[in-house]
């Protein structure tokens, strides 16, 4: 139960509470000698650490999880997905795609459609980072369709935001804004602070590119508040943009 609570708290952006819940679960599993529970929890902690930018710590937890016990197929897919995320964060998008595809294959094999949706979103993000926008949109759209079929609103918010970001990079501001606004509304409805911040960050860039600097600053400042509260690496990158020429005067 503590493991599941940790995952829910992660989605709600309560990372300190998530870490506490997961570490408490790990201690219980270790005391009980429950190897599979220990393995899954180590993998979840690795995912949390990766999201906070602690990549070496994340990889350490993933390695400990891999050594814990022979994994069930679903657990193996989760583990591969999480390791792929670390590669992506380290700037190795091509390697990350290889790993995400392995996880995707397992998810499809065992009929885990939520896992399939998550992997599709991640693969799309990697293609976007490589500048392959067409392939990115194909994967994000598949993830969006599947998330709606499954009523997975966290995944839906992520897919909408990702689609918006691809259109933004291509200069399609109207379409980008529509997708990002939809993601923002959904993120707020379900209490997903991270997706809310990402959507606001994207909308700020739309506003900046269309020369609405007041709206851009407003969105960025609200996104920064959320990033800071979450303690995620995106806060520093956004803070640097806020300290740029357009914000130096405090206008």
Q: What is the pLDDT of residues 135-183, one digit of tens each?
A: 999 999 999 999 999 999 999 999 999 999 999 999 999 999 999 999 9
Evaluate if pTM is beyond 0.85. no
C-alpha 208 chain-centroid distance:
24
User: To which residue do tokens 């939520």 refer?
Assistant: 114
* Measured distance CA(104)–CA(114) in Å, rounded: 10
Residue-number span of the structural domain to which 224 is assigned: 153-251
Q: Which of 133, 151, 169 is the last residue of a domain?
A: 151
Q: Which of 47, 71, 95 is the last residue in one of the domains?
A: 71
Contacts by 30-36, CB closer than 8 A, 24 or more apart: 35/68, 35/69, 36/68, 36/69, 36/72, 36/75
In the chain, the number of structural domains is 3
Query: CATH number of the domain that 29 lies in?
Result: 1.25.40.10
**Please, is 248 exposed, middle or buried when counting C-beta atoms within 10 Å of its C-beta (0-12, 13-18, 19+)?**
exposed
Burial class (CB in 10 A: 0-12, 13-18, 19+), 227: buried
CA–CA distance, 39 with 70 (Å, rounded to integer): 9
Residue after which a domain boundary falls, among 151, 178, 195 = 151
Q: Report whether pLDDT(10) > 80.
A: no
Average pLDDT, the chain: 88
């Amino acid at each position: 139960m503590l493991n599941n609570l940790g995952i829910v708290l992660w989605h709600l952006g309560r990372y300190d509470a998530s870490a506490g819940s997961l570490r408490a679960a790990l201690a219980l599993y270790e005391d009980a000698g429950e190897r599979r529970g220990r393995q899954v929890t180590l993998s979840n902690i690795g995912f949390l650490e990766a999201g906070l930018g602690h990549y070496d710590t994340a990889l350490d937890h993933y390695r400990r999880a891999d050594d814990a016990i022979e994994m069930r197929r679903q657990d193996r897919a989760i583990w591969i997905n999480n390791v792929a995320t670390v590669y992506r964060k380290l700037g190795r998008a091509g390697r990350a795609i290889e790993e995400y595809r392995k996880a995707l294959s397992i998810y499809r094999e065992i009929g885990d459609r939520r896992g399939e949706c998550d992997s599709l979103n991640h693969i799309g993000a990697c293609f976007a980072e490589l500048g392959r926008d067409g392939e990115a949109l194909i994967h994000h759209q598949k993830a969006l369709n599947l998330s709606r079929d499954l009523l997975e609103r966290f995944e839906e918010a992520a897919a909408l935001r990702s689609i918006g970001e691809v259109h933004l990079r291509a200069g399609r501001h109207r379409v980008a804004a529509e997708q990002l606004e939809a993601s923002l509304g959904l993120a707020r409805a379900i209490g997903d602070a991270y997706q809310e911040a990402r959507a606001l960050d994207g909308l700020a860039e739309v506003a900046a590119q269309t020369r609405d600097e007041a709206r851009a600053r407003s969105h960025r400042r609200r996104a920064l508040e959320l990033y800071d509260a979450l303690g995620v690496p995106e806060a520093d990158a956004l803070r640097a943009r806020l300290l740029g020429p357009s914000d130096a005067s405090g206008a």
